[in-house]
Amino acid sequence: MGLYPEIIEKLIEKLKKLPGIGPKSAERIVYYLIQSDENEVISLGEAITSLKKQVKLCKKCFNFAEKDLCNICLDEKRESIICIVEEVKDLISIEKTNFKGRYHVLWGRISMLDNVTPEQIKIPQLIERIKNEKIEEIIIATNPTVEGENTAIYISEILKKMGIKHSRIAVGLPIGSELEYIDSQTLKKAIEGRREL
């Protein structure tokens, strides 16, 4: 027999499955919901239900969308530059820099350890998109992990064969850091990616 009524125990268990929510946080959320106005709790439930029913993937770039195309793909003022990212959260990070191009979300990265092949992420759709759109440049912005680098190399080889101008985002030192605390691999990448002043 649990410490709480069964319905509270069930909700705590469901909340604990969310990223970053542990048992204590789940309990605090339940306490908050119990003490909240009924209309606010109902509104939250409806918003969660609507999320699953109304949000889908953009048919062009695979960003989140409520219609066939996302707001970015619908924006005709965007430049003909495509930035390739692994996840939507990466797109959001780049969008906050005032990037004015377009995106292509891979929904993952190539990983031999996890048996993720190029066909399992949105690389075939990227190739098809390149064939059908006029693109000035492609920026490969996969994460600087082993899998992200391998994915970038794989995509770069395809783009070379297609004759498409492309680049890789620079990696290196974070602003405000000190060299003595930076690992050698990051320092090596920073030196390789140096630019003339």
CA 77, 82, 85, 87 torsion-angle sign:
positive
The pLDDT score that the predictor gives to residue 1 is 55
Query: What CATH number corresponds to the domain at position 138?
Result: 3.40.1360.10
For residue 18, report the phi and psi dihedrals to the nearest 5 degrees. Answer: -75, 145
Give the distance from CA 148 to its chain's centroid. Answer: 12
**Hey, what are 120's tokens?**
């399992």
DSSP for residue 98: T
pLDDT at site 197 = 59
Read off the pLDDT of residues 107-150 as tens digits, 9 standing for 90 and up.
999 998 899 998 999 999 999 999 999 999 999 999 888 899 89
DSSP H or E run through 134: none
Query: Does residue 137 sit in the same domain as residue 96?
Result: yes
pLDDT recorded at residue 139: 94
22 by DSSP, 3-state: which?
coil
- Distance of alpha carbon 147 from alpha carbon 159, whole angstroms: 18
d(CA 47, CA 37): 16
Q: What local confidence, expressed as pLDDT, does residue 188 receive?
A: 78
Supply the pTM of this predicted model. Answer: 0.80
Number of domains in the chain: 2
In this structure, how many other beta carbons lie within 10 angstroms of the beta carbon of residue 3?
Answer: 8
Cα 149 to Cα 141: distance, rounded to the nearest angstrom: 10
Residue with tokens 């920073």: 190
Per-residue pLDDT tens over the stretch 50-102:
998 999 999 999 999 999 999 999 999 999 999 999 999 999 999 998 899 99
Residue 181, pLDDT above cutoff 80? no
Amino acid letter, residue 163? G
Q: Is the pLDDT of residue 177 over 80?
A: no
CATH code of 26's domain: 1.10.8.420
131 and 45 in a single domain? The answer is no
Contacts of residue 1, Cβ cutoff 8 Å, sequence gap at least 6: none
In a domain, 194, yes or no: no
Do residues 86 and 12 both lie within one domain? Answer: no
Q: Which helix (H) or strand (E) holds 51?
A: helix 38-54
Instruction: Establish if 150 belongs to a structural domain.
Output: yes
**Where do the DSSP E strands lie in 33-170?**
56-57, 64-65, 81-85, 102-105, 137-140, 166-168
* In-domain check, residue 184: no
Domain annotation covers residue 66: no
What is the tens place of the pLDDT at every residue in 3-38? 788 898 999 999 999 999 999 999 999 999 999 999
Name the token pair of 3: 């410490």
Q: Is position 87 within any domain?
A: yes
Other CB atoms within 10 A of residue 27 CB: 17
* Structural domain range at position 44: 6-54
State phi, psi for 158 to the nearest 5 degrees.
-65, -45
| 80 and 167 together in one domain | yes
